[in-house]
Amino acid sequence: MTTADLEEFEDELETCFGTSCGFCERGCPVYQALKVRTLSMKGRNRTMLGLLKKRFEITPSVVQAAFECTLCGNCDRWCALKNTDHTRAFREYLLKHGVEPMKEHSSLLASVKNYGNPWFQPRSARNKWLKGQDIPKAAPGKQEVLFFAGCTSAVMKPLVPSLVASAKLLRRANVNFAVMGQDEPCCGSTLLRVGQTEAFEMLEKENFDKFEALGVKKIVTACPGCYTTLRKSAESLGSEIEIVHITQELAELVKGGDLKVKRSSEKMTYHDPCHLGRLGGILDEPREIVGAASDFIEMPNHGYESRCCGAGAGLQSAFPKLSRELASKKIEEAKSTGATTLVTCCPFCETQLRTVPGMRVVDLMELLLKATEDSNKP
Amino acid sequence: MKYISELQAVLGDEKLLTDPAELYVYGADWSPRTSDEIHPPDVVVQPKTTLDVQRIVEVAYANGIPVTAGGGLTGMLGGAVSLYGGIYIDTTTMNSIIEIDPKNQTVRVQAGATLQEVNDAVNPYGLWLPHQPESKWVSTVGAAIACDNDSTFGVRYGKILNCLLSVEIVTGSGEILELGHRKAHFTSSGYKLKDLMAGSEGTLGVVTEATLKLEPIPETRIVEMLVFHRMGSAVDYLSRLLRAGVGIEAAHINCKRRLKFYTHAYTAKFGGEAEIPAWAEALLAIAFAGDEKMANAQRDHAIAIAAEFDAELVKEREIVDSWWASKYTLEFEPFKQKWPDVQKAKKFGAADPGVPVGRLEEFYHKFVEVAEKHKLEIIGMNAYLEHPNSIGFSLSCAVFVDYRSADEIRRFRLFHDELSKLAIEFDGTMSTFMSDTHQKAPYLELEHGRSLVYMREIKRLFDPKGIMNPGKKFPREEG
């Protein structure tokens, strides 16, 4: 069991009510943009508590409190409570109590069910990035390492170079890996974030049965969302398969000099994707790569305090105006460092941040590949 | 309700919250209470400008509706809770930094800016607002003024009133008034109406803007901790430091028990409790700041003098740093912020009396006695020096309160009232950083005697209909 029901968190909600420090408000991108307290974590916890105590019915503001959140985890960074888990359980609670999924989320869910991705792309679309790559397809007992490309980068053309770069880098690093191509399943992140817990739990079980059947020992993910989701599933299902993000796989090689990198003099900054940084705890490895490949400078809010780009947890689809506002704020912060390029390594963040004009947004793997290729040039 | 449509007409829908869930979350602050004890307002308004606030108060005045203004809602005694419903003005939507004047070292801000937002804005100029309560990330300028809360650096810079040059308010009849002396640091002209706002709890008007005095950021800060045999020795030592001419930036005398509460970061890191010598009854946390050479010289001189008082330096830096993290830097282990973590079963509750400097130790023993009488688990006492260059302190007499138990909340309130009243017997004061709220209102005459009549008249002048945060300072019917 990966998740818990809202009722199981009631004691934590009481603790938040008893404490009421509000330290979660300062770094909450949504609360800071809208300043309505039901949208801060303290207010959201109170809303859940009031609902469980039947102080009010499910109202439009209750639904908004549940869903107008990117689940970026900034509130967790400043707290000892499991706030993002409360929010996810809140969403599930509402769906169980007669709230219809938001129409934008319903279509995502239908797509996951029918196509194994939330993008309405046929399963075969996951093969596109593999054309001409000569990467073996995973087969039972034939490989120990599985490169898990994730759906978003595989089906969205502007993100394909990132996967190609990842595969080339893994090969340069002499990692023997295979891919699942069109058989690669959905990791279930979308289901989990929008409160479809039952569907998620069925899916994660199926997924790990497949991985185990292939005899995989390690999964290297390209997407931070896949990384946190698969890691949590592995833990909760008791699987011994090791889940790592590609930055972890490659940073050590860069540091040890096994991957030769040419450093550019360009000033670059790095955006921590919420799922990789705050939620995944992977803060140093991407910095080692950006630092080796450029004149790296931090943004004022970085690492655990990095501000969300606004794309996550269904916000982009259901609350596009707010989502755009958060992306603009992020780009402003990046510009304030004097950097000319913003590096990141999440398909959602990249797509989101590229919608804001005025700053070059580069994928970390593409940056690293170029820097390794440049190091071979005379 | 008729007045709500009038508010809609003057402000527009987007500045009003009326959904029951939204109202619910604005119905309680930080103070000890069960989750059944909540006072949602009837409407929350989110003004952007002083004129918006004026329009709100005019509607309230015309209709005789209670108006409670709030900021971060981290008050420790219910000051910004709408006891009688009505309109809650959420000032956090008024958080603009209006003018930074580096040459004159002032900043003009809207009242809803948090103390941290002010400091983030003025930091690039090498300046800071030294009024720093632990709640600085959430506590707003307006709330700091209205509550007159505490500051870590009081012994050097005082509290918010020492930083406040001028304040704009909207009175209870909707008039906009500027009180103070522009950018001059003080005045001998007129009555000091500006000073009335500190600790007024929104009972005279709503603070909408303030001009604050800033200070240059010292290059270096050194924090040390000394242990003493008695709390009284720590007071004598501080008096000796002032005689010696040592500049102190922060000074907090903790009883031994209190250390456990403030070293959560230590416990989170090492698993065990921070320990000090068994003989030590008091700890003094003390900070020195300035140019590195000067700060070090002050520190060295202060530590040398400590020998005269049989005090000992705490050498384990992790204890000192974890205390300071809790008090000021807020550098907690990620995902382990102390407030909820230490309060899973019970929360922090306090009385905030002030007593004459020579009677600290005597009052400490009374605090322990009263807490034990009401069967409350003691957190301990912290005496914060909060008056510039003097040993005057505010007292935080803290206990753990089971906020899931109505009976324990009741006993906590008895404890709070008893200590507040006892402070008068000690020739002291009932409140030094939490204000009076509705809690002390029934017995405010003990503190103020006949002058309470004059206070009521002042209230009437600013708030003719008694609509501004009713129930606070004075019971509602007399407001």
Length of chain B: 479
Does A18 contact B at CB distance below 8 Å? yes
Neighbours of B250 (CB within 10 A): 26
- Give yes or no for a contact between A151 and A183, defined as CB atoms under 8 angstroms apart: no
| Containing structural domain, residue B95 | 1-217+449-479
Q: Judge whether B338 lies within some domain.
A: no
CATH number at residue B459: 3.30.465.10
Does A20 contact B at CB distance below 8 Å? yes
For residue B46, the distance in angstroms to the closest alpha carbon of chain A comes to 9
Per-residue pLDDT for A2 more than 60? no
pLDDT, tens only, B401-460: 999 999 999 999 999 999 999 999 999 999 999 999 999 999 999 999 999 999 999 999
Is the CB of A16 less than 8 angstroms away from the CB of B340?
Answer: yes
DSSP label of A303: G
Amino acid letter, B27: G
Same domain, B194 and B226: no
Per-residue pLDDT for B391 more than 70? yes
Residues of A in contact with B25 (CB under 8 A): 37-38, 42-43, 46-47, 50
- The SS3 call for residue A312 is coil
End-to-end CA separation in angstroms for chain B: 24
Comparing C-alpha atoms, which of B15, B69, B71, B18 is closest to residue B46?
A: B15
Give the residue extent of every domain in chain A. Answer: 6-96, 104-250, 257-376
Per-residue pLDDT for B478 more than 50? no
What is the rounded average pLDDT of the residues A56-69?
Answer: 95
Non-local (6+) Cβ contacts of A110 within 8 A are: none
Is the CB of A77 less than 8 angstroms away from the CB of B335?
Answer: yes
Is the CB of B35 less than 8 angstroms away from the CB of A49?
Answer: yes
Neighbours of B1 (CB within 10 A): 12
Same domain, B101 and B245: no
Per-residue pLDDT for A275 more than 80? yes
From residue A282, alpha-carbon distances to A52, A251, A316 in Å are 36, 11, 24
Which CATH fold would you assign to the domain A104-250?
Rossmann fold (3.40.50)
Note the pLDDT of residue A1.
40
Q: Judge whether B107 lies within some domain.
A: yes
Does B124 contact A at CB distance below 8 Å? no
Nearest-Cα residue of chain B relative to residue A48: B21
Does B116 contact A at CB distance below 8 Å? yes
Buried b (16+ CB within 10 A) or exposed e, A10-33: bebbbbbbbbbbbbbbbbbbbbbb
Is the CB of A80 less than 8 angstroms away from the CB of B22?
Answer: no
Lookup result for tokens 């004009």: A357
Amino acid letter, B314: V
- The SS3 call for residue B379 is strand
Neighbours of A100 (CB within 10 A): 10
The pLDDT confidence band at residue B477, using thresholds 50, 70 and 90, is low
Neighbours of B395 (CB within 10 A): 26
Q: Judge whether B132 lies within some domain.
A: yes
Which residue in B20, B30, B341 is closest to A20 by CB distance? B30
Same domain, B326 and B347: no
Same domain, B60 and B181: yes
Does B272 contact A at CB distance below 8 Å? no
Q: Judge whether B125 lies within some domain.
A: yes
Does A67 contact B at CB distance below 8 Å? no
What is the rounded average pLDDT of the residues B217-235?
Answer: 97
End-to-end CA separation in angstroms for chain A: 55
Does A65 contact B at CB distance below 8 Å? yes
Note the pLDDT of residue A3.
60
Residues of B in contact with A60 (CB under 8 A): 19
Residues of B in contact with A17 (CB under 8 A): 28, 35, 403
pLDDT, tens only, A72-110: 999 999 999 999 999 999 999 999 999 988 777 788 788
What is the rounded average pLDDT of the residues B296-313?
Answer: 97
Which residue in A15, A25, A38 is closest to B21 by CB distance? A38
Dihedral sign of CA atoms B273, B274, B279, B285 in order: negative
What is the rounded average pLDDT of the residues A311-315?
Answer: 75
Interface test with B, best of A9, A12, A13, A19 (most B CBs within 10 A): A19
| Token duo for residue A25 | 């408000």
Which residue in A19, A22, A23 is closest to B73 by CB distance? A22
Same domain, B321 and B352: no
| Token duo for residue A15 | 């603790």
Does A77 contact B at CB distance below 8 Å? yes
Is the CB of B22 less than 8 angstroms away from the CB of A36?
Answer: yes
Which residue in B29, B334, B339 is closest to A23 by CB distance? B339
What is the rounded average pLDDT of the residues A28-38?
Answer: 94
Question: CA–CA separation, A68 vs A91, rounded Å?
Answer: 10
Phi–psi pair at B212, nearest 5 degrees? -120, 145
Pairing relation of β-strands B250-255 and B282-290? Answer: antiparallel
Cα dihedral B442→B446→B447→B451 (10° resolution): 90
> In percent, how much of chain B has pLDDT > 70?
99
Does B135 contact A at CB distance below 8 Å? yes
Same domain, B213 and B224: no
Comparing C-alpha atoms, which of A279, A290, A303, A268 is closest to residue A228?
A: A279
Is the CB of B20 less than 8 angstroms away from the CB of A14?
Answer: no
Is the CB of B26 less than 8 angstroms away from the CB of A37?
Answer: yes
Note the pLDDT of residue A376.
78
Is the CB of A80 less than 8 angstroms away from the CB of B336?
Answer: yes
DSSP E strand boundaries for chain A: 145-148, 177-178, 218-221, 242-245, 267-270, 295-296, 341-344, 360-363
Is the CB of A51 less than 8 angstroms away from the CB of B21?
Answer: yes
Amino acid letter, B310: D
Same domain, B12 and B70: yes
Buried b (16+ CB within 10 A) or exposed e, A212-235: eebebebbbbbbbbbbbbbbbbbe
Per-residue pLDDT for A201 more than 60? yes
Is the CB of A61 less than 8 angstroms away from the CB of B137?
Answer: no
Architecture in CATH of A257-376: 3-Layer(aba) Sandwich (3.40)
Q: Computed over its alpha carbons, how large is the radius of gyration of chain A?
A: 21
Note the pLDDT of residue B323.
92
Domain boundary among B279, B303, B333: B333
For residue A271, the distance in angstroms to the closest alpha carbon of chain B comes to 18
Does B20 contact A at CB distance below 8 Å? yes
Is the CB of A35 less than 8 angstroms away from the CB of B90?
Answer: yes
Which residue in B20, B25, B337 is closest to A79 by CB distance? B337
Does B92 contact A at CB distance below 8 Å? yes
Comparing C-alpha atoms, which of B90, B144, B49, B20 is closest to residue A37?
A: B90
Per-residue pLDDT for A260 more than 50? yes
Nearest-Cα residue of chain A relative to residue B47: A35
Is the CB of A38 less than 8 angstroms away from the CB of B25?
Answer: yes
CATH number at residue B411: 3.30.300.330
Structurally, chain B folds into a number of domains equal to 3
Note the pLDDT of residue A113.
85
Per-residue pLDDT for B161 more than 50? yes
- The SS3 call for residue A205 is helix
Interface test with A, best of B17, B35, B76 (most A CBs within 10 A): B35
Those of residues 293-352 in B touching chain A at CB distance below 8 A are 330, 332, 334-341, 343-344, 347
Q: Judge whether B136 lies within some domain.
A: yes
Could you give the ipTM of this predicted complex?
0.95
Same domain, B194 and B86: yes
For residue B280, the distance in angstroms to the closest alpha carbon of chain A comes to 31
Does A80 contact B at CB distance below 8 Å? yes
DSSP calls for B26-57: TS--SSS--TT-----SEEE--SSHHHHHHHH
DSSP calls for B157-179: H-SHHHHEEEEEEEETTS-EEEE
pLDDT, tens only, A105-158: 788 788 888 888 888 899 999 999 998 888 999 999 889 999 999 999 998 889
Residue B62 C-alpha from the chain's centroid: 33
Note the pLDDT of residue B13.
86
Interface test with B, best of A14, A16, A21, A75 (most B CBs within 10 A): A21
Phi–psi pair at B169, nearest 5 degrees? -130, 160
Does B13 contact A at CB distance below 8 Å? no
Note the pLDDT of residue A112.
86
Is the CB of A59 less than 8 angstroms away from the CB of B24?
Answer: no
What is the rounded average pLDDT of the residues B277-299?
Answer: 97
Phi–psi pair at B107, nearest 5 degrees? -140, 140
Which residue in B74, B92, B341 is closest to A35 by CB distance? B92
For residue A302, the distance in angstroms to the closest alpha carbon of chain B comes to 13
Higher-confidence residue: A143 or B343? A143
Is the CB of B340 less than 8 angstroms away from the CB of A49?
Answer: no
pLDDT, tens only, B52-79: 999 999 999 999 999 999 999 999 999 9
| Token duo for residue B426 | 């000690």
Same domain, B62 and B202: yes
Q: Which of A103-117, A222-236, B116-130 has the lowest mean pLDDT?
A: A103-117
Beta bridge mates, B255: B282
The pLDDT confidence band at residue B479, using thresholds 50, 70 and 90, is very low
Nearest-Cα residue of chain A relative to residue B22: A38
Same domain, B209 and B228: no
Domain boundary among B287, B311, B333: B333
Question: CA–CA separation, B91 vs B60, rounded Å?
Answer: 16
Nearest-Cα residue of chain B relative to residue A84: B335
Does A97 contact B at CB distance below 8 Å? no
Same domain, B110 and B148: yes
Beta bridge mates, B254: B283, B382
